[in-house]
Chains A and B, each alone.
Chain A
Amino acid sequence: MGSNSTREQLAAQVAQAPDAELPEPVFANPAAYRAPDTPRQETLCALFAEALGVTRVGLDDNFFDLGGQSLNGIRLVNLINKALGLDLSIDELFDFPTVAELNQHIES
C-alpha cells in the first residue's frame, strides 16, 4: 500500500509539468476494484465517495488512501450513522478504514 494518496501522485505530476496533458484522474486502482454486493456495502461505498469527493469507491479502498483526514472522517461517520441508524465513532472508522473492514465491524 503506497504512502502517498492517489490525489497527491496526481498533484506531483501537475507540479512537475504545469503545462502538460494529464490523464483523467482515477482515484482508485481499477485492477483492485471490488464492487459492493449488499445494500449496506453499496451505501458505505457511496458515502465514502461523497465525503471524500472521489468518483468511485470499492470494498478494498482505504479511507486514508482516498485522502481521508480527521475532519472529512468525522463528516463520513456522521453520514454513515444517519444513513444506517448507527452510533459509530471516528475511532472505529480509523481502526477499520476500508469499506470491507468497516462493514464486517458493523456486522459483528
Chain B
Amino acid sequence: MTTTDAEGRAAAAGVAPLSLNQEFNSLFDGGGDDGPFGCRNFAVGGWRVTGGPVDPDVLRDALADVVARHEALRTRIAGPPDDRYQEILPPSPARVDVRDFPPTPEASRAELAETLLHEIETETISAYEAPFVRVVLARFDDRDAVLVLMGHHLSVDGQSLAVIMRDLANRYAARTGHSVPELPAAPQYREYGAWEREAATSVVARDYWRRHLDGAQYTAVATDLPRSSGLPETTARHRFLIPADVMSSIDRVARSNRTTRFMAMAAIYQLLVHRLTGVTDVVMATFTPGRGGGLFDETVGSLYNFVPLRTDLTGCASYEDVLRRTRRTCLEAFSHDIPTMQIFAEAPQLMDSAMTDNTTAMVLESVPTNPVVDAPGDLRFVRITRLVRSQELSSAVPDGALWDVNRDPSGVGIGAVTYKRNLFRPDTIASMAAEFGEIARAFSSSPGASPGLV
C-alpha cells in the first residue's frame, strides 16, 4: 500500500464500537497506571539492527508511514466506562528517541541491550495521546544499533509488534532508495471488530464450550497478599532458565507423542498448577493469536484471545498420559477458538474462582517466533530474544501472573513469569518457577514415570 492510499483511508476516520477483545480488557479496568487503560500497559520488543547506519529522520518518516497504514496506532477508546467506543484519529508524528551507548566491545553489547530494554520498560506510554507507538534507537556504532518498539497494549499485541517491525523496515528501505516488495493488504482493526461480532462465532463452538466448561471453575492459585489490602498495582517479572538438554528432551518426548512443544509446556504447567492447588480437574488458559485463522494476520491491534484449557488429570499414570490428554484438550480448544466474551457467555461462572480476595488466575503462553525480520535493503533486523534477567518493574499484566516459556535460538529455554507485585511476593514466584523446572526435568528424562499426582 502507498502512503497516499493510507492517507485516503485516514480521511474516512471516525468511530467504531469496541471490539470484543477491548470489551474483555475492560473487564479488568480498575483504573490506575497498571490497569488496561493505564500508561504501563504496553507491548515492547527490541531488535538488533546491523549492516549500516540508521538515519533517525528517515526512521521517523518511516514510522509515520506505519502509523498512517494502521488505524489501530491512532485509535483510542473514548466515552464513559459504560458506553465506550473507538475513536479513530488522523495520522500524527510518532516519537523517536535517539541515544548512544558508550563505546562497548562486541562481547558486552547483548548485555547492554538487555539493560536498555529493561530501562525502557520502566517508562510509560499514554492510552489517550495518539499515536500509540514509539521507538527508541540506541547506537553502538554506525553499523550496530538496538531498536526498541513500544506500543500501548490496547493498540498493539505481541504479533502486532512483529507486523509493525516488518512494515517499518520495509518503509525505511523504501525511503532510503531501495526497491522493496509491496506490503500485503492489512485489514484495519475496526474491520476485525466487525468480523468478531458478525462472523467469528459458530453454533458448534458455542455448544462445545457450554458442554466442555459445564460447572468448570478456573483453577485459581492463592495469592500472598489479599486484594483488600489495597496495595497500589505494579507488575514485576521473574526469569528462569531451562537447560538446553532438558529442552531438547522435551522436544523429543513431544515429537514421539505427536504433539507440539506448546502441548508439552502446557502439560508441565498443568502439573505445576495441580501441585500448587491439589486440583485434578485443571482449568488453565492460554492466549491464541485470535486472528480469524489467518484472515487478520496483517492487522495491527489488540487481537489475542484468552482460551480456557480444561484437562482432567485423574488416573494419569505417566507424564506421557498427561501429555496425551493435554493434546486432546488443546486440539479441541483451538478448533473452537471463538472470542473469549462468547466463551464466557456459555460459562458465566468460569472466572469467579479467580476473582476472590485471596485468589487469582495465572495464564501460560509459549509462542515460537522467527526472530529474523523480513527486511529489504541493507539493514538486518534480528529480534532480541535472549533476555534472562528478572525485573522489579515490567509492563503490566491485567491480573495474577502470565507465564511465558520459549526456546531461545541458543537452545536454552527461557521462562518469564510476569506477575502483579501487589498480589505475589517475589520468593513465591521464584519457588513456583523452580518447581516448573523440576517437573520439566522429570518429564523430559522419564516420560513414562508417574507424574506424582497428589
Which residues of A pack against B, CB within 8 Å?
1, 3-4, 7-8, 10-12, 14-16, 18-19, 64, 67-71, 74-75, 78, 89-91, 94-95, 97
Q: Are A69 and B368 in contact (CB under 8 A)?
A: yes
Tell me the complex Cα distance, A5–B118, Å.
30
Tell me the complex Cα distance, A8–B410, Å.
9
Tell me the complex Cα distance, A7–B374, Å.
14
Chain B proximity of A72: nearest CB distance (Å): 8
Total interface residues on B, CB under 8 Å, equals: 37
Q: Are A18 and B410 in contact (CB under 8 A)?
A: no
If A3-B248, A68-B260 touch, whether A19 touches B51 (CB-CB below 8 Å) is yes
Please encode chain B, from 293 to 307, with 1 for each CB lying within 8 Å of some chain A CB and 0 for all others: 110000000000000
Chain A proximity of B86: nearest CB distance (Å): 26
Given pairs A12-B409, A14-B372, A71-B289, 5 additional interface contacts (CB within 8 A): A11-B370, A15-B382, A67-B368, A69-B260, A70-B334
Verify if B255 is at the interface (C-beta below 8 Å from A): yes
Q: Are B262 and A64 in contact (CB under 8 A)?
A: no
List A contacts of B288 (CB < 8 A).
71
Q: Are B334 and A71 in contact (CB under 8 A)?
A: yes
Q: Are A14 and B334 in contact (CB under 8 A)?
A: no
Q: Are B248 and A18 in contact (CB under 8 A)?
A: no
13 chain-A/chain-B pairs, Cβ below 8 angstroms: A1-B255, A3-B248, A3-B255, A4-B411, A7-B370, A11-B371, A15-B386, A15-B409, A18-B50, A70-B262, A71-B334, A75-B294, A94-B331
List A contacts of B380 (CB < 8 A).
18-19
B:298-338 near A, CB below 8 Å: 327, 330-331, 334-335, 337
If A8-B409, A11-B370, A12-B409 touch, whether A18 touches B48 (CB-CB below 8 Å) is yes
Chain A proximity of B17: nearest CB distance (Å): 27
Q: Are A70 and B371 in contact (CB under 8 A)?
A: no
Verify if B114 is at the interface (C-beta below 8 Å from A): no
List B contacts of A90 (CB < 8 A).
331, 334-335
Verify if B258 is at the interface (C-beta below 8 Å from A): yes
Max count, chain A CB within 10 A of own CB: residue among B262, B337, B368, B385:
B368
Tell me the complex Cα distance, A91–B324, Å.
12
Q: Are A12 and B289 in contact (CB under 8 A)?
A: no
List B contacts of A14 (CB < 8 A).
371-372, 382, 409
Question: Nearest chain-B residue to A25 (Cβ)?
Answer: B372
Tell me the complex Cα distance, A71–B251, Å.
18
Tell me the complex Cα distance, A33–B215, Å.
50
Tell me the complex Cα distance, A12–B385, Å.
11
Verify if B408 is at the interface (C-beta below 8 Å from A): yes
Question: Nearest chain-B residue to A67 (Cβ)?
Answer: B368
Tell me the complex Cα distance, A18–B327, Å.
36
Q: Are A74 and B48 in contact (CB under 8 A)?
A: no
